[in-house]
Amino acid sequence: LEESRKYKKYSKELKERALQDYLSGKYSQMEISKKYELTNRTVFKLWINKYNNHREITATPKGMRQSMTKGRTTSLNERIEIVQYCIAQNNDYHKAAETYQVSYNQVYQWVRKYESGGENALQDARGRKKPASDLTPEDRIKLEMKKLEAENERLRAENAFLKKLEELERRRY
């Protein structure tokens, strides 16, 4: 009898040793896979991705781990609170996501925005246009061109409609 190679459990310590060996630069992914008798190199690549994305390295669980929660609406103050909590926890995104019942990815994105642009970067600006006073002359020209193109398209459609209506009326008589 051969041991099944389809699903194998790995301890947290083994994963960390394998990652440390890889990060030392002494071994390739393939060499690590052979050294630690991994089922294949893809398994190790997943661990590397987890490490690079600042995810917690854990032992292979018996069941699926809940890492995503259903999205919910958050206020600006709540996003700031979540980001500050995450930073205070040494960027433990998973813990912040579980504590505040938001997705891991959302916490990660908020922290990145906060670090690059401060509290103002966390504002939800979807669907908002810049005020006319903030536009550069080039932006104003582009905006005017878009308005004219939209009006031209509307007039073309109106002309086509009127021509079709006129044709239908002629056929009726």
Per-residue pLDDT in tens (0 to 9) along the chain, 173 residues: 565 556 678 888 888 898 888 888 888 889 988 898 888 888 888 888 888 887 778 877 655 455 555 667 888 899 999 999 999 988 888 888 888 888 888 999 999 999 998 888 888 777 667 777 778 889 889 989 999 999 999 999 999 999 999 999 998 87
**Neighbour-count burial for 110-146, b at 16+ CB within 10 Å, e otherwise:** bbebbeeeeeeebeeeeeeeeeeeeeeeeeeeeeeee
pLDDT value, residue 64 = 47
pLDDT value at position 6? 64
pLDDT at res. 133? 77
Domain positions in the chain: 12-52, 76-122, 132-172
Residues 146 and 152: their CA atoms lie apart, in Å, by 10
The separation between the first and the last C-alpha atoms of the chain, rounded to the nearest angstrom, is: 89
